[in-house]
Chains A and B, each alone.
Chain A
Amino acid sequence: MAEIDDIIHQPLRLRIMAALNALPGASGLEFSRLKKLTGATDGNLGAHIETLAKAGYVAVDKAFVGKKPQTTVTATAAGRGAFARHVATLQEIIAGAAGKP
């Protein structure tokens, strides 16, 4: 059995990273859109974003649009790399299992 990235592998963090990684270049997602896409609650999403930010996998940008606060989350280069390695590991696990008698 291969070793996987346990920061990314948690189901909600995996969905967050998958969503951010699906965006081109340096694009990010607003907190509310990320919440809708992942089906998470405010508190849960905030906590997992913080974990990913501490690992250096995402960058969080807080700004005001008019009078409304807006939080944008973006995958960092390190985060994109870690996600790509994680997906490769998942594929290896499946391929390894398929090769077993």
Chain B
Amino acid sequence: MSIESREAAAALSDIEDIVRRVRQSRIYQLASLLLIMWGALVFAANIGSFLWPRTAGYIWIAVNVAGIAGSFAISAFGQARTGVRSFDGRALAALLLFFAFGLFTCWLGHFGPRELGTFWPIYFMLMYTIAGLWVGKAFVAIGLSITALTLIGYFFVGPWFEPWMAFVNGGGLMLGGLWMRRS
């Protein structure tokens, strides 16, 4: 069987398209587990902060440590299954730098509890949205939706801000993760 160059070019373009889809699908599979885990943790931390506001600082430290440990565990599980490591030393360094800049901004801005509860989700969603420009539209959609809902909560939800954020941020991440698994 022999073919013309136009057909060969079309076949190569088809291959490129499928490879891109497979890559995106694998990113979504790994990211979905991370999103579901972080969503559950953020949900619990927001409810905990609402019920026990004095210990909110400790709750968030515990949640972040658990989240980082869980990310390593999910990455190891993913590596065993697919050969791809999604969370490694470089990812941890990036996350710590990200946290450091966030802490510096909070210190500089003298944020109150409500501002802190608004700043961190928006800051994290900025990362999701930027990453989405490269890895998939789902990240952009999740990032922008949660940012918008967080701002609505900040301006209009009054004393129910933490429960609102539990559902918007925690629930949003979990729903986003479940949606990614299906896409």
B1–A9 CB distance below 8 A: yes
What's the minimum C-beta distance from A43 to chain B, rounded to whole angstroms? 20
CA distance A36 to B18 in the complex (A): 11
**Residues on A with beta carbons closer than 8 Å to the beta carbon of B14:** 11, 14-15, 18
Q: How many residues of A contact B (CB 8 A)?
A: 30
Give the contacting residue for A9; candidates B3, B5, B21, B25; CB below 8 A: B3
Contact of A25 among B3, B26, B83 (CB under 8 A): B83
Total number of B residues with any Cβ neighbor in A under 8 Å: 22
Using known A-B contacts A22-B23, A24-B82, determine if residue A87 contacts B15 with beta carbons closer than 8 Å: yes
Indicate if the CB atoms of B4 and A14 lie closer than 8 Å.
Answer: no
Among the listed stretches A45-53, A63-71, A88-96, which one makes contact with chain B, having 4 or more residues with CB under 8 Å of it?
A88-96
Q: How far is the CA of A55 from the CA of B81 in the complex (A)?
A: 27
B82 to A14, Cβ gap below 8 A?
no
B11 contacts chain A at the CB level, 8 A cutoff: yes
Contact status of A90 and B11, CB under 8 A, knowing A1-B3, A4-B3, A27-B82: yes
**Dominant SS among interface residues on chain B:** helix
Question: Contact check: which of B4, B19, B25, B84 meets A1 at CB < 8 Å?
Answer: B4
- CA–CA, A79 and B15, complex, Å: 15
Verify A18–B19 contact, CB threshold 8 A: yes
**Is B96 an interface residue, CB under 8 A from the partner?**
no
- SS of A interface (majority): helix
**Contact of A38 with B18 in the complex, beta carbons under 8 Å:** yes
Q: State whether A4 touches B2 (Cβ < 8 A).
A: yes
B contact residues around A11 at 8 Å (CB): 11, 14
Distance (Å) between the CB of A73 and the closest chain B CB? 13
Which residues of B, 16-38, contact A by the 8 Å Cβ criterion? 18-19, 21-23, 25-26
How far does the alpha carbon of A2 sit from the alpha carbon of B16 in the complex, in Å? 21
User: Chain B residues in contact with chain A, CB under 8 A?
Assistant: 1-5, 8-9, 11-12, 14-15, 18-19, 21-23, 25-26, 81-84
Counting from the closest, the 9 A-B pairs by CB-CB distance are A97-B5, A1-B2, A24-B83, A93-B8, A18-B18, A22-B22, A6-B1, A18-B15, A90-B8
